[in-house]
A and B are shown apart, each in its own frame.
Chain A
Amino acid sequence: MTDATQPTTYNGFIWSESLPAGAHWSGVIRRGTVLRITDIQGKANVAMLINNLEVKNERYNMPDTLKAQKTAFLTTPNMCFSDMGRVMCSVIADTCGWHDTIGGLSNAKTLKAKYGEKDYQSAHNDYFKNGYDSLINELTKWGLNASDIVPNLNWFSKVRVEDDGSMTFIENNSTAGDFVDLRFEMDCIVSLSTAQHPMDTSPEYAPQPIELSVFKAEEVKADDACRLHRAENQRAYYNTKIFYGENPDD
């Protein structure tokens, strides 16, 4: 689902980096920049946690994000809310159309049961990595820990909930070249894993590579689609402006 009204190119390219399948990564993404995540070959999953760089116990909050926007998944023009009533990032462009945030993370136990085991000694860097351990690894580098493993984002994955509450992983939700653009509204620590989605129906351990690119964001205007999406989004953006000592009505 391409939203033609959203920009798909930006002038202010800053950096880009490729991540192999099953990798983990963390870094700071600054306020006023756009992080583009591209699914290079299709069927990627990018498990992500977001913490405020300055006040690290402020973090992405799944229930607050979903309740405020009355949605069980993310796409444009949704915003990702923190547990402190602020906007961490905004989905300003999305060619995929559905990103999961209720399916959670894979872990060593479920991965082994599903795919068996492949350790470093036998497979070198192709060893089987899971989402939970991968994110612990990255969080710890920033003084964060297992307490910061909260319900995460799973970019490019789709989990549909039927009327009886049962959860279905939808295959082939993302195809080669699909991307999502996240405009960061706060200075954030972003931790991610490219391990497979825990509900992935593939019988093979087959995570996929991605590319990260960062661009300078255009100024967020009063008529911004994410900001205007709902009154809740406007109030969260108002709270974010106050956090940075700016006039919230601008």
Chain B
Amino acid sequence: MTNKQFDENRIVYREVVKAGEPWMHEVKAGQRFRIVDLEGNEAVDTLFYNAKDHSERYSATDTIREQGNIYLTTGSVLRSNLNNPMLTIVDDTCGRHDTIGGACSAESNTVRYAIEKRHMHSCRDSFLMALGNCECNHDKAMTKEDLSSNINFFMNVPVSPDGHLDFDDGISAPGRYVEMEAHMDTLILVSNCPQLNNPCNGYNPTPVEMVIWE
């Protein structure tokens, strides 16, 4: 990893993504990608793909196994399904991020909350909307099969030694950010989570800022 100082003049891309919106963009090898939790307590559901070959993508299990720890923070190497390093988290003012909890969907909302919650907006619907609309999905070659287990930046899913798993209130706060440096040209697919039924975003989805700099 290169040793870089954040400099506003080196920003090549900057956009605020509203609550509940999908977002898809490419970050080049060597560039840094920063997600800023503008108002705090937001969950940013994120998937990564090798921009040159989408069949290589972020793997939650390869990532946690290789680092021997289920939580992600500074120093975590985000690995692909081919066990290659995709990005490394180089800066993190939040402290820990989840990759076990997955993304909400219309269908899983019926299971977790109530059958009639199907029609509430969900992350996997956001992912599919991005795949359907984004020019990044060049020949619309990516489909539902390409949605695997994601990272939930700023989200807190504690697991205990007796195997209990829970969703807790977030540990983020306004202005906290996570930053990673890309090892390969990487396509990023994000759902800025619209979940209203659990404390992962304080029952109040809020905007986040995406910053790419080099």
Contact = CB atoms under 8 A, between A and B. Distances in A.
Interface of A: 57, 61-64, 66-68, 70-73, 81, 83-86, 98, 102-105, 107, 109-110, 132, 145-152, 160-167, 198-199, 232, 235-236, 238-239
B65 interface: yes
Contacts of B64: 102, 104, 167
A164 B96 CA distance: 11
Interface string B28-64: 0000000000000000000000000001000111101
A164 B73 CA distance: 12
Nearest to A105: B61
A72 B163 CA distance: 5
Given A71-B165, A151-B149, A239 B107 contact: yes
Given A66-B165, A67-B102, A104 B62 contact: yes
A73 B115 CA distance: 25
A163 B161 contact: yes
B145 A148 contact: yes
Nearest to B70: A165
Contacts of A109: 83
Contact of B69 (A71, A81, A84, A167): A167
Given A83-B107, A107-B83, A232-B111, A161 B149 contact: no
Contacts of A167: 64-65, 68-70
Nearest to A104: B61
Contacts of B59: 104
A199 B65 contact: yes
Nearest to B108: A64
B4 interface: no
10 contacts: A61-B108, A63-B102, A66-B101, A71-B165, A104-B59, A104-B61, A147-B55, A151-B60, A151-B149, A232-B111
Given A85-B108, A165-B69, A235-B110, A71 B164 contact: yes
A62 B102 contact: yes
A161 B161 contact: yes
Pairs of residues from A and B, 9 with the lowest C-beta to C-beta distance, nearest first: A63-B102, A104-B61, A85-B107, A165-B71, A161-B159, A147-B145, A72-B165, A73-B163, A72-B159
B166 interface: yes
B105 interface: yes
Interface in B87-130: 96, 100-103, 105-112, 114-115, 124
Given A104-B62, A238-B115, A160 B163 contact: yes
Interface string B165-197: 111000000000000000000000000000000
A149 B147 CA distance: 11
Given A64-B102, A85-B111, A102-B70, A162 B161 contact: yes
B160 A163 contact: yes
A107 B83 CA distance: 8
Nearest to B150: A63
A166 B69 contact: yes
A124 B64 CA distance: 33
Nearest to A84: B107
A151 B63 CA distance: 11
Contact of A150 (B100, B106, B148, B159): B148
Nearest to B152: A63
Contacts of B147: 83
B144 interface: yes
Contact of A164 (B69, B107, B110, B148): B69
B68 A67 contact: no
A208 to B, nearest CB: 20
